[in-house]
């Protein structure tokens, strides 16, 4: 689907023209939209539907969106009696001259602080120039897609000197005890080491979390202080609660205390994640296997979901529930990524990876072989595999998995070798694709 972007105007042999840009998910720079009021006045049900779908997306969760019919004439009538919101989106199928007349009428009843987005039918550079002269924030050619609506609103409210927001990766198990925490901890370490960048690992299992144990650090401070003091939470307080681990990894540990229950409101971690994203390019969440309001909201708000599962029927059932649920909750996002863990346990009946993928209707991005001795030794000395056995096949496998999950290329070429015995078919197919196409850079 091709949309015309007026961000780039080029000079060609025929004179000045408008260059089109192909909207793709990975090309859309979509930060979270701030707390704004947005009204949309649509001429067609298709545009109204696209905006309504966009309004349900996690990136638009802070915005209050009201969609109405009638286009510009309805907006003029409405604002004769009602103050204008932060953002007005109007659709018009009128020709350029008539559209500009209607916009002048709208300007007469609008506050100067309100931003305007126009959805129109004319691919005309002269119209665009007239809209710029009238301080219109953006012009989009109909028909519009929900993702393009989100990208447009995000771009309007993204300051030119704003801090680049990091990406949040939430790891959760298809059931308890499948090794989701082990995967999350090793991936967080691998991202920092492989890409030479800062990473924040947050342990969200406040009662039984293992981040402090696996990285041999004091869990007396951390995430409980953040959640327990939302009114005092700022960047300075947040920084004091972090534990540095190595050159790249920062930890927010769990208290491991059972003197109180950890029943939180839905948005209990929202401010914490906002601060984390504004200070770290990568944020890894170790989310416990439970289904509370705050856990559901945290998974919903993450940029990427990674589900760890073992190859048996209970895990397949749990993974299927999670995948289907988040396809419904996050229809504009990619499907969750699935990692098969502890594959090949001796004498244990297992579902073959191919059958698991068919039943799940989603191909796992990697299969991790069972190696209880290696992982057990690491746990007993308070370290993760990537730190205690950096040259092991498992550590190399986690490094490759970090690349698959983030979509980034490594800074330095990693030595190949020996991954087939640790990782199954899900990894080998992707490696073959990367040999041909090269791994995709992060959007």
pLDDT for 293: 92
Per-residue confidence (pLDDT) for residue 178, from 0 to 100: 94
**178 Cβ partners below 8 Å, 6+ apart?**
308, 309, 310, 315, 341, 342
164-183 tens-digit pLDDT: 678 999 999 999 999 999 99
Query: DSSP letter string over 19-42?
Result: EEEE--GGG-------S-EEEEEE
How far is 13 from 15, CA to CA, in rounded Å? 6
Question: What is the DSSP code (8-state) at residue 60?
Answer: G
Nearest to 201, CA basis, from 181, 179, 221: 181
Rounded Cα distance, 221 and 226, in Å: 9
Residue 52 · residue 40 · CB < 8 Å: no
78 and 129 Cβ atoms separated by less than 8 Å? no
Query: Which pLDDT does position 441 carry in this prediction?
Result: 37
- Residue owning tokens 């209050």: 64
Spatial CB neighbours of 25, under 8 Å, sequence gap ≥ 6 = 147, 334, 443
Q: DSSP for 235-260, please give it.
A: HHHHHHT-EEETTTEEEE------SS
For residues 61 and 153, the answer to whether their CB atoms sit within 8 Å is no
Model pLDDT for residues 260-310, shown as the tens digit of each residue:
888 888 888 888 898 898 889 999 999 999 999 999 999 999 999 999 999
pLDDT at site 91: 96
Q: What is the model's pLDDT at position 364?
A: 94
Positions in the chain whose pLDDT score sits under 70: 1-29, 159-164, 219-221, 228-230, 409-443
The pLDDT value recorded for residue 46 is 96
Task: Specify the pTM.
Answer: 0.75
Q: Residue 153 has what pLDDT?
A: 94
Q: What is the 3-state secondary structure (H, E, C) of 141-155?
A: ECCCCHHHHHHHHHH
Closest CA to 59 of 153, 184, 172, 196: 153
């Amino acid at each position: 689907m091709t949309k015309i972007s007026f961000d780039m105007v080029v000079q060609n042999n025929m004179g000045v023209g408008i260059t089109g840009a192909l909207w793709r998910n990975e090309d859309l720079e979509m930060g979270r939209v701030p707390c704004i009021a947005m009204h949309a006045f649509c001429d067609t049900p298709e545009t109204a539907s696209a905006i309504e779908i966009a309004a349900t997306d996690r990136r638009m969760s802070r915005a209050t969106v009201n969609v109405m019919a009638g286009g510009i004439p309805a907006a003029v009538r409405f604002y004769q009696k009602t103050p204008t919101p932060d953002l007005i989106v109007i659709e018009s199928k009128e020709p350029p001259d008539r559209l500009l007349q209607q916009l002048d009428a709208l300007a007469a009843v609008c506050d100067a602080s309100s931003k305007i987005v126009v959805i129109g039918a004319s691919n005309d550079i002269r119209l665009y120039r007239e809209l710029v002269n009238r301080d219109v924030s953006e012009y989009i050619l109909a028909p519009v897609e929900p993702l393009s609506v989100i990208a447009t609103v995000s771009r309007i409210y993204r300051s030119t000197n704003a801090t680049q927001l990091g990406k949040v990766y939430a790891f959760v198990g298809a059931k308890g005890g499948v090794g989701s925490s082990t995967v999350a901890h090793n991936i967080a370490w691998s991202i920092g080491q492989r890409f030479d960048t800062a990473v924040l690992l947050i342990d969200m299992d406040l009662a039984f979390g293992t981040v402090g144990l696996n990285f041999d650090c004091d869990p007396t401070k951390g995430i409980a202080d953040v959640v327990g003091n939302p009114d005092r939470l700022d960047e300075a307080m947040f920084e004091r609660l972090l534990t540095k681990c190595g050159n790249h990894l920062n930890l927010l540990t769990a208290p491991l205390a059972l003197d109180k229950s950890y029943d939180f409101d839905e948005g209990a971690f929202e401010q914490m994640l906002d601060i984390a994203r504004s200070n770290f390019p990568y944020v890894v969440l170790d989310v416990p296997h439970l289904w509370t309001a705050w856990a559901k909201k945290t998974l919903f708000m993450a940029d990427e979901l990674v589900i760890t599962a073992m190859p048996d029927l209970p895990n397949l059932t749990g993974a299927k529930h999670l995948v289907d649920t988040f396809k419904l909750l996050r229809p504009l996002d990619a499907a969750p990524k699935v990692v098969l863990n502890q594959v090949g346990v001796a004498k244990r009946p297992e579902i073959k990876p191919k059958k698991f993928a068919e039943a799940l209707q989603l191909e796992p991005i990697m299969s991790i072989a069972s190696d209880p001795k290696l992982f057990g030794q690491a746990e007993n000395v308070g370290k993760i595999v990537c730190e205690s056995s950096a040259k092991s096949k498992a550590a190399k496998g986690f490094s490759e998995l970090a690349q698959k999950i983030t979509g980034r290329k490594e800074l330095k070429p990693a030595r190949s070798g020996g991954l087939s015995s640790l990782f199954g078919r899900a990894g080998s197919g992707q490696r073959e694709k990367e040999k041909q196409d090269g791994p995709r850079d992060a959007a």
